[in-house]
Amino acid sequence: MKFLPYNRDQADLPPPSAKDVLGATPRDRGRKRPLAIGAYVCFLLAMAGWTYAHAVRNWDMIGYMAVITSWQTTNPVEMHRRVYQQIRRTTSPAAYEELTSGPFREDITANPWHLAEQLPFYSIKPLYLDVVWLGHWFGLRLDQSMRILSVLAVFGLGILCFQWMRIYLSDPQSAIISACLFLTAPLYRLETFSEPDALNALVLAASLYLLFEKGKKFPGLLLLCAAPLVRPDSAIFCLLVLAYVGVWAPPRIAIKKHEALVLAGTVAACVFAIGRWSGNYGWKILFVNSIKSPVSNPGEITPVVTRWDYWAAARATFAQLLSGSGLILFVFFIALCLVAGAASLEPKLRDLLILLAVAIACQIVLYPNLEARYYAFALVPTAVGYVACMARRKRLDSEVPT
């Protein structure tokens, strides 16, 4: 991984001219606009309320509920009874029918031991499970706690996006662009599913904002290293960022090499320990279960993944990208264009986009799957990098003498 040399002279923007970012003057950009801020917050609240009321009860919700229920009873039959009793009591007949229909779901509904064999797929996300349990401890049902957590995480991500963009744009511009971004499928869908992806996106985006934009190394790296506890595959991006801040980063966010090595070793050890503690089945069964078809009895089979299986999954992923279903990758393609040819992009954002590109490429190679929720953490920093580049180019163009 090679980064362009960091130039201190390019770190700060040139003095703004009378016509600044996208037509806003420096005074306008620095002034708080309560009306724009209030309208944007109302938009986030309205979106949160609507998505909570129309949340999708996806099957993975049952897996997370089963893990937390297993903390109270180790009897598979009793665990199975409690989980499905709560699902039956809190969902409509149509929703319950959907959650229990199909060969895989019918098998899990009828067989408590097969539900118990699903637990390692979901227990590898301890921080997400702990936060869900905390909401349950305060009196929420498990399904309510997961839904509210997704809604709150996306709401926090919306506030973070606006706060980050207003560094480069005026408040009205930041509100409009952020609102449009959150109406796109990847971020909108995060709020409707009971998954750890929304919390993972918030943790990673907040860590990048603190580290790259604010230069706050301790809280930024702390959040970054906590992300693999929400989703273990976040360790890929975490290790890349640690390598960057230990070797290539400018002094503002750099740490000593041995410190980066210790943090990277700690993250790797935590991911390994979680996998062993949860009884993780390994990469092959995850590939079969996620890419090919769900496995109802993963503890009883020996999975086989041939090179042709991997090639078929990679080819299907490429076909999805060509068909336009990979919206997140289309947005990320903009970031790649900026990295390749936008000399006006700030070095800190340029390096951040390179890291995001490498991390997403590694993740696709490991699991060739284009589900947007796996890459939603890149949307906010990518959008910020794009608007920052356009703002700076606008400023530089306005300063060219005519």
Q: What is the reported pLDDT for 75? A: 94
Q: What is the reported pLDDT for 188? A: 80
- Residue written as token pair 């769900």: 294
DSSP 169: S
- Give a yes or no: residue 60 inside a domain: yes
- Give a yes or no: residue 1 inside a domain: no
How many CB atoms within 10 Å of residue 184?
A: 15
- Consecutive H or E run containing 263: helix 257-278
CB 40 within 8 A of CB 49: no
Full residue range of the structural domain in which residue 373 is found: 8-399
126 Cβ contact partners less than 8 Å away, ≥ 6 residues apart? 229, 274
Side-chain-side CA neighbours of residue 2 (13 Å):
2
For residue 33, is pLDDT > 50? Answer: yes
For residue 29, is pLDDT > 90? Answer: no
- Give a yes or no: residue 32 inside a domain: yes
Per the structure, the count of domains in the chain is 1
Q: What is the reported pLDDT for 12? A: 43
DSSP 124: T
For residue 263, is pLDDT > 60? Answer: yes
**C-alpha closest to that of 129 among 153, 149, 114:** 149
**C-alpha closest to that of 385 among 351, 341, 360:** 351
- Give a yes or no: residue 2 inside a domain: no
For residue 210, is pLDDT > 90? Answer: yes
Rounded CA separation 367/343 (Å): 33
Q: What is the reported pLDDT for 15? A: 39
Rounded CA separation 207/209 (Å): 5
Q: Which of 126-130, 138-142, 379-383 has the lowest mean pLDDT?
A: 379-383
267 Cβ contact partners less than 8 Å away, ≥ 6 residues apart? 225, 228, 235, 238, 239, 242
Distances (CA, A) of 145 to 131, 195, 385: 8, 11, 33
- Give a yes or no: residue 3 inside a domain: no
- Give a yes or no: residue 365 inside a domain: yes
- Give a yes or no: residue 187 inside a domain: yes
Model's pTM, two decimal places?
A: 0.88
Going by pLDDT thresholds of 50, 70 and 90, the confidence category of residue 66 is: very high
Query: Higher model confidence: residue 254 or residue 395?
Result: 254
179 Cβ contact partners less than 8 Å away, ≥ 6 residues apart? 40, 43
**C-alpha closest to that of 124 among 349, 272, 274, 244:** 274
Q: Give tens-digit pLDDT for 276-325.
A: 888 888 888 988 888 888 899 998 888 888 889 888 888 887 777 766 55
DSSP 324: T
Q: What is the reported pLDDT for 333? A: 64
Distances (CA, A) of 311 to 308, 316, 362: 5, 9, 16
CB 221 within 8 A of CB 213: no
- Give a yes or no: residue 178 inside a domain: yes
Rounded CA separation 348/254 (Å): 12
Query: Higher model confidence: residue 284 or residue 230?
Result: 230
Amino acid occupying residue 122: Y
CB 26 within 8 A of CB 16: yes
Kindly state the percentage of the chain with pLDDT values over 70. 84
Q: What is the reported pLDDT for 385? A: 85
Rounded CA separation 359/237 (Å): 5
CB 12 within 8 A of CB 348: no
